[in-house]
């Protein structure tokens, strides 16, 4: 008997994502984006230069985490049938990750940009939850 036959799986499971779907949730990106906005607000409310410097560093780290969580959803959760049903999805992810990046929340102290980022994440979340119903 061949080793490949011995170690071959007896049952093959198929899923539209890499792991059971409970591990994916746009709330992770939203929580980090809310942190970005809160940090911007605290930055503007302080006169302490050391605090402001730390706030910028933490805001940039949180914005990077927003991008990470969005990319995981974009590349691991959503599959071709989702993009066919929701053709705006690629554009939403592109816009959201840019709003989180250096040209967006990561590179600005404008709370309005953070609000735009949160709105994009909410649009993605709405589609995400629609796909979970199916």
For the chain, the structural domain boundaries read: 26-133
> How far, in Å, CA of 126 to CA of 9, rounded?
36
Mean pLDDT across the stretch 12-39?
A: 78
Confidence of residue 21 (pLDDT cuts 50, 70, 90): low
* Average pLDDT for the chain: 90
pLDDT in tens, 38-86: 999 999 999 999 999 999 999 999 999 999 999 999 999 999 999 999 9
Q: Nearest to residue 67, comparing CAs of 106, 100, 108, 26?
A: 100
> How far, in Å, CA of 89 to CA of 28, rounded?
18
CATH fold of 26-133 reads: 1.20.120
């Amino acid at each position: 008997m061949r080793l490949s036959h011995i170690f071959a799986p007896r049952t093959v499971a198929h899923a539209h994502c890499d792991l059971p779907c409970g591990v994916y949730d746009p709330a992770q990106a939203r929580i980090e984006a809310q942190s970005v906005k809160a940090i911007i607000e605290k930055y503007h409310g302080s006169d302490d230069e050391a605090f402001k410097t730390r706030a910028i560093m933490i805001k940039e780290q949180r914005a990077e985490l927003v991008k990470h969580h969005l990319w995981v959803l974009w590349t691991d959760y959503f599959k071709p049938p989702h993009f066919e049903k929701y053709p705006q999805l690629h554009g939403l992810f592109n816009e959201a990750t840019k709003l989180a990046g250096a040209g967006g929340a990561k590179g600005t102290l404008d709370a309005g940009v953070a609000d735009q980022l949160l709105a994009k994440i909410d649009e993605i979340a709405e589609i995400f939850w629609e796909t979970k119903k199916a």
